């Protein structure tokens, strides 16, 4: 299981209703996307970060590990905004792009923190069954659940195959490394295909009719949590409006 999933299953917000956490995280996400970068998106991102390391008690190393690749994508996406193309073979510095790059990077970073606030506190197994009650087709949620489950199986398979290859000195040289990677891809494909076929046969034997019956644990909404969330979102919007942030 990934570290982010472990944090979601073991954190203090594990037993809270997913709707509460969705209201908080998606509300902050809306502020980060709609409000001006300064101070609206900055306030939303800061609030999400403080909630993650504070009440949610998500370990900082887990957050850094989960945000590593998205942050790299954000940084590389902002670099083209800093250059201008004068000719097919000539690039130059674009002073006007600095502000756009900073605005885009800040808004994207704030949105990333808001999404991490939800994913690091809410297991997917709590969300998918409740989406059916909101009108999402059961086929969509079941495919998502099966894909989520198969992802862990594939990761375990990759780890097992890689350890077996390393024990046989499969990564000693560049030539053996390329050969091992090619064999690893073939082995993982065969394992994934076999597991998928066995899963299909198992569902057919158990009389699968198009939907899986899942028992959903009853959880009550916490009025204080909802009120505090609305107050936080209102405060962010109010401070942004009073500060006269530029809407761009």
Q: What is the mean pLDDT of residues 105-131?
A: 87
Q: Which residue has the tokens 């057919």?
A: 204
Among residues 181, 153, 154, which one has the least CA distance to residue 165? 181
Least confident of 39-53, 84-98, 225-239: 84-98
Q: How far apart are the first and last CA of the chain?
A: 40
Same domain, yes or no: 38 and 111: yes
- What domain count does the chain have? 2
Domain that holds residue 185: 134-205
Indicate the burial class of 84 (C-beta count within 10 angstroms; 0-12, 13-18, 19 or more). Answer: middle
Q: Are 242 and 38 in contact (CB under 8 A)?
A: no
Is the same domain home to 103 and 140?
A: no
- Residues 104, 22 share a domain: yes
Q: Are 4 and 66 in contact (CB under 8 A)?
A: yes
Per the DSSP assignment, residues forming a β-bridge with 164 are none
pLDDT reading at 11 higher than 90: no
Mean pLDDT over residues 62-77, rounded? 87
Regarding whether 39 and 109 lie in a shared domain, the answer is: yes
55 versus 128: the higher-pLDDT residue is: 55
Verify that 117 and 232 share a domain, yes or no.
Answer: yes
pLDDT at 1: 57
pLDDT score for 197? 83
Give yes or no for a contact between 173 and 182, defined as CB atoms under 8 angstroms apart. no
State the average pLDDT over residues 13-38: 88
The pLDDT mean for the chain works out to 82
Does 210 fall in a domain?
A: no
Residue 100 and residue 198 in one domain: no
Task: Say whether pLDDT at 213 is over 90.
Answer: no
Three-class SS of residue 93? strand
What pLDDT sits at residue 84? Answer: 75
pTM of the model: 0.76
Does 11 reside within a domain?
A: yes
113 within domain boundaries: yes
Average pLDDT (210-231) is 80
Find the mean pLDDT for residues 219-232.
Answer: 88
Claim to verify: residue 12 and residue 113 sit in the same structural domain: yes
Q: What percent of the chain has pLDDT over 70?
A: 91
Q: Mean of the pLDDT values across residues 96-115?
A: 86
User: In terms of domains, do 24 and 114 share one?
Assistant: yes
pLDDT at 87: 63
Segment 162-174, tens digit of pLDDT: 888 888 888 888 8
pLDDT score at 49 = 92
Residues 23 and 115 in one domain: yes
Whether 212 is in a domain gets the answer: no
Identify the band that residue 103 occupies on the pLDDT scale cut at 50, 70 and 90: confident
């Amino acid at each position: 299981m990934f570290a982010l999933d472990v944090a979601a299953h073991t954190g203090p917000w594990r037993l809270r209703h997913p709707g509460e956490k969705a209201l908080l995280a998606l509300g902050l996400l809306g502020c980060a996307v709609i409000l001006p970068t300064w101070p609206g998106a900055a306030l939303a991102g800061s609030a999400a970060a403080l909630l993650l390391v504070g009440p949610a008690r998500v370990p900082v190393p887990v957050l850094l590990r989960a945000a590593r690749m998205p942050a790299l994508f954000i940084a590389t996406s902002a670099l083209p905004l800093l250059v201008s193309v004068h000719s097919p073979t000539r690039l130059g510095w674009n002073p006007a792009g600095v502000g756009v790059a900073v605005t885009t990077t800040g808004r994207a970073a704030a949105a990333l923190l808001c999404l991490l606030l939800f994913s690091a506190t809410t297991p997917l197994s709590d969300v998918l069954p409740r989406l059916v009650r909101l009108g999402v087709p059961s086929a969509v949620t079941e495919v998502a659940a099966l894909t989520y489950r198969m992802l862990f199986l594939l990761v375990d398979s990759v780890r097992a195959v890689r350890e077996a290859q390393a024990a046989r000195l499969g990564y000693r040289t560049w030539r053996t490394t390329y050969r091992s990677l090619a064999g690893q891809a073939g082995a993982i494909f065969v394992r994934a295909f076999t597991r998928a076929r066995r899963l299909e046969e198992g569902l057919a034997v158990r009389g699968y009719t198009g939907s899986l019956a899942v028992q959903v644990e009853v959880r009550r909404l916490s009025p204080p949590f909802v009120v505090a969330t609305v107050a936080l979102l209102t405060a962010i919007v109010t401070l942004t409006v009073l500060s006269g942030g530029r809407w761009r």
